[in-house]
Structure 1
Amino acid sequence: MRHRPDPANWLTDLPDETPIQRLSLPGTHRSASAAHQNWTIAEQLAHGVRFLDVDRVDDAVLSPCRTFLAAHPGELVLLRVRDRGPLSCDELPPSLGAARGRIVQLTDLEADRDRFGVQDSLSTGPLEKKALITAQFDEARFQRGAERLHVNVTALAGGHSELVMPYVRAWLQARAEDPGPCGAVVMDFPDLYPSVVPDVIARNFAPRGAGSPVLSRSAHV
């Protein structure tokens, strides 16, 4: 049986030395928008989401993140901010241990190709979008070249998650026994596809294989 950690504390179970780039992270697209999410940010974090995507930073975004991290100091939140404004980008921490308890604010991901690989094409048809998602998953699993955090936005323009998310769910299930990291999987309405967030999280606890996923702290004892 695959390890199914507590979704509110799943990062806490992983070793401090785990590189951020080797994690599989459930994420949400337009995380604070009711047009793209049914869960509030607080509910997203409680269900295991650790990558948020927002237009701008305000207290409605930061307050639930701070409250969550105060209660779960072994966790982290990666916060992608699309409208940078005066915000400066945080350095991506070198390891999970250096990031615990933090909100790491990220901007200009597409321009920073040394640290990030980003698939964020929204205005494509479903077939092309599925091909882009697959290519980004493969980049994350096999890490061609220097290691980067791969951000795979599965959303389509207009919030049509039903055209893509069944494919994402099937991809994760088909590769459950040969995982490797899949990067940040950034979704609209993940609550409508209940297996997806747990399946992304579970990839972090699978036995080492071709993709060399990370192991839980208990596996190192």
Structure 2
Amino acid sequence: MGIARRDLLKWSAGVGGAAVLGGGIALPSSTAWGAVRTTPRGLPTDDWMSRLDGNLSLLDLTIPGTHDSCCENPDYGTEWSHTQNWGIPQQLQEGVRFLDIRCNGLQGAPDELGIYHSDAYQHLRLQDVLDRCRSFLQAHPGETIVMRLRNERAGGQALGDEEFMRRVNHYFDAFGYRSLFHFYGWPTLDTARGKVVLLADFANPWGLIDWSSGQNEYFDTQDVWQIGGLDPLGAKGRYITAQFDKAFGNPSYPKMFVNFLSYAGGYWPKTSSQSLMDRAVYPYLNARTQQRARFGIVPMDFPDFHVNVLQMLIDKNVV
């Protein structure tokens, strides 16, 4: 892969550094804490949904997100599992509205869930994530957060279906988070404001919005993460742009499009992310800055390295 670990560790500093973005633009990878960016179309990144018509369905939006949203410290795993530099509060401030939250059981806490990347504990509990989401929504009541909650089923803390459901219910009721969520069916933006829209990536009989990494009644998802051949990143880039094209060409499609910009397949996340942004994602979006589009949910790694892409996705809602 040709990148020394010492260089990766330099990159992982993220906050306070500079990132080279698609098209050769160098921008700071983070604003000062408390500062608010504005997109090229004039939307404040911490409050962009509040500017949109509340009668729009979430299905009508482009919703930038993060993949493995809590994996911000390579010490809790390795650089192979490191996918973010921004924590949840800054992701939300910068305009991210989809979070990919993956849980196993929490050792020593029989009713709780911990945040994991496979079997690597990220030193966060589910309640830490939900408290940060609630704090953000209380400060920004015109926004919503869409959350994939996944049973990661990995390592010594893996949970079976019934136990995972029991613990989720414990969070809803004993811990008092039920009122934070919207549970059933794709809502309008007005219905979703101030709520976390739950996407259930765990077995349940509750009639929730059930996640699919392929196709079901709720989703049309591109999540190709491993490809053979001589140029797997080139192939992944074509999957990404094809999904963008499909979403653009089907504005009344009754499912949520999901288009993962992340790729594993033997590459460090920073390597694959930078290549895909430079070769496929940035050129595609930059050539279409005058188009409004409902691209659906678009999760990515390291949006701090690709602030221009994040903001172009937000602006798709108003062009």
Which band: TM-score by shorter chain?
Answer: 0.7 to 0.9
Distance across 2 between alignment mates of 1:145 and 1:176: 21
Give TM-score, length-normalised by structure 1.
Answer: 0.86
Q: 1:163 to 1:75 in 2, by over 3 A?
A: same
Matched residue, 2:239? 132
Equivalence map 1:42-57=2 (5 Å): 42-56=89-103
- Structure 2 residue 192 is the aligned partner of structure 1 residue 99: yes
| Paired residues of 1:137 and 1:183 also in contact (CA < 8 A) | no
Mark the runs of 5 or more structure 2 residues left unpaired by the alignment: 1-38, 73-81, 104-112, 114-125, 153-163, 170-181, 202-210
Contact preservation (8 Å) 1:140, 1:149: no
* Alignment: residue pair count: 206
AA aligned to 2:296 is: G
Contact 1:153/1:185 (<8 A) preserved = yes
Verify the 8 A CA contact 1:123 1:156 in the aligned structure 2.
yes
TM-score (norm 2): 0.61
Match of 2:288 in 1: 175
CA distance in 2 between counterparts of 1:31 and 1:117 reads: 21
> 2:277 — aligned with what?
165
In structure 2, do the counterparts of structure 1 residues 92 and 165 end up closer, same or farther at CA, with 3 Å as the change threshold? farther
Shift of 1:143: 1.9
Matches within 5 A, 1:180-219: 180-206=293-319
Q: Which of residues 81, 102, 108 is equivalent to 2:149?
A: 81
* Deviation at residue 205 of structure 1 after TM alignment: 0.6
Cα offset for 1:59? 1.6
User: Which of the numbers 183, 189, 198 marks the counterpart of 1:90?
Assistant: 183
Which stretch shows the higher mean deviation, 107-116 or 154-163?
A: 107-116
Higher RCO (CA < 8 A, seq sep 6+): 1
Matched to 1:119, the amino acid is Q
Structure 1 or 2: more strand by fraction? 2
Q: Tell me if structure 2 keeps the 8 A contact 1:29–1:186.
A: yes
Which has the larger Rg?
Answer: 2
User: For the residues of structure 1 that align with 2:235 and 2:133, how far apart are their CA atoms?
Assistant: 34
Structure 1 spans left out of the alignment, 5+ residues? 207-221
Determine if contact 2:61/2:317 at 8 Å carries over to the other structure.
yes
Q: CA deviation at 1:38?
A: 0.4
Does structure 1 residue 113 correspond to structure 2 residue 198? Answer: no
| Match of residue 217 from structure 1 | none
In the other structure, the counterpart of 1:3 is: 41
Change (3 A) 1:3 1:188: same
Shift of 1:3: 2.2
